[in-house]
Amino acid sequence: MNVAAPVLEPGATIGILGSGQLGRMLALAAARLGFRCHIFAPDRDSPAFDVVRESTRADYDDEQALARFAENVDVVTYEFENIPAETAAFLAPLVPVLPDPKVLATTQDRVAEKDFILGLGIGTAPYAAVATAAELSDALDRIGRPAVLKTRRFGYDGKGQAAITKEIAPEAAWREVGAQPSILEAFVPFAREVSVVAARAADGRVECFDLTENEHRDHILKVSRVPAAVSDATAHEARRIAETIAHRFGYVGVLAVEMFVLRDGALLVNEIAPRVHNSGHWTLDGASVSQFEQHIRAVAGWPLAKPIRKGRVEMTNLIGHEVDDYRKWLIIPGTAVHLYGKIAVRPGRKMGHVTRLFAD
């Protein structure tokens, strides 16, 4: 049994599982609204710990630490969708956990996620669950090449993925993803990648940010541009898809739906992220309310704001040593620089982002 979602008063404490830049930006947004945050995470080099008074550094299976955490917060949310299901299950009887942990069960498993999406009548790339190298061979015969093999669980930023082109032997791809339960997805010749960042309140109201177009490099988001260069009909349909998903989950908080736009304007859902999302970082500077504030409003039982975009926006991630160039960005007029306070610079690590605002 889960605890009913509360309506928080200013001064209440929001517990956040996960301590990366998303947790950090959630905590900063919560502070603006008069809330305190308590961060719970196992990691040492953790940007979110620096912006809160109370934090717990403990493993996600440390039940004593979790119980103390639950006692000291008024609601729990997460910045990170790979929170162990057991952690959420342990907390849910003690304190409201939003969005509902059952969402994680779906989104942590790429096959369950795709089944869920298809069940809503929404398109995805053709896919098949594969549990053995032999099943992979069969699936490749049905789905064709090129295709992408991905682990069912715990993949992000391209980790746990293998492209299967003509030359690649199924066995090699199977080894590359670690010979574990996986999903084979057809490669879709898309025209664009887009995402909808949507907030849903407990009362069922949904507010979507404008459709964002995303450019990846080495499987990591590099640039987001708003508005996306698609027809009004496509933008409208993308929003409808995100709303449908949010409603079916009974979702409370912010989620992101990544989609492919095909050459004819049709949309296929690629992935659901049950959390604030990198492709929504532009909202901090480019909209009248940010994705982080919308999430905090939703989990606090507060009304959502109606987002108003302030212009044409371009968000660029600073990845790895690109962050060393931050001074270049500081002096470009109309550019907002965000640095995450991470200590170690590693290739592929998201160290910050910059947002540029232009007249529409």
Residue closer to a copy of itself (CB basis): 260 or 302? 302
Q: Please state whether beta strands 220-226 and 312-319 pair in parallel, antiparallel, or not at all (unpaired).
A: antiparallel
CA pair distance 55, 24, nearest whole angstrom: 12
Nearest to 25 by CA among 295, 210, 223: 295
Residue closer to a copy of itself (CB basis): 38 or 225? 38
Residue closer to a copy of itself (CB basis): 150 or 297? 297
Distance of CA 138 to the CA centre of its chain: 32
Q: What is the dihedral of CA 140, 141, 143, 149, to 10 degrees?
A: 0
Residue closer to a copy of itself (CB basis): 4 or 331? 331
Kindly state the smallest distance separating residue 161's Cβ from a copy of itself, in Å.
Answer: 30
Kindly state the smallest distance separating residue 55's Cβ from a copy of itself, in Å.
Answer: 7
3-state secondary structure of 47: helix
* Cβ–Cβ under 8 Å, residues 149 and 166: no
3-state secondary structure of 19: coil
Kindly state the smallest distance separating residue 331's Cβ from a copy of itself, in Å.
Answer: 5
Kindly state the smallest distance separating residue 352's Cβ from a copy of itself, in Å.
Answer: 7
Structure-block tokens of residue 35: 């809330």
Footprint of a copy of itself (CB under 8 A): 10-11, 24, 27-28, 31-36, 49-53, 55, 285, 288-289, 297, 302-303, 305-306, 308, 310, 323, 326-327, 330-331, 333-341, 343, 352, 357
CA pair distance 161, 187, nearest whole angstrom: 13
Residue closer to a copy of itself (CB basis): 240 or 310? 310
Kindly state the smallest distance separating residue 126's Cβ from a copy of itself, in Å.
Answer: 42
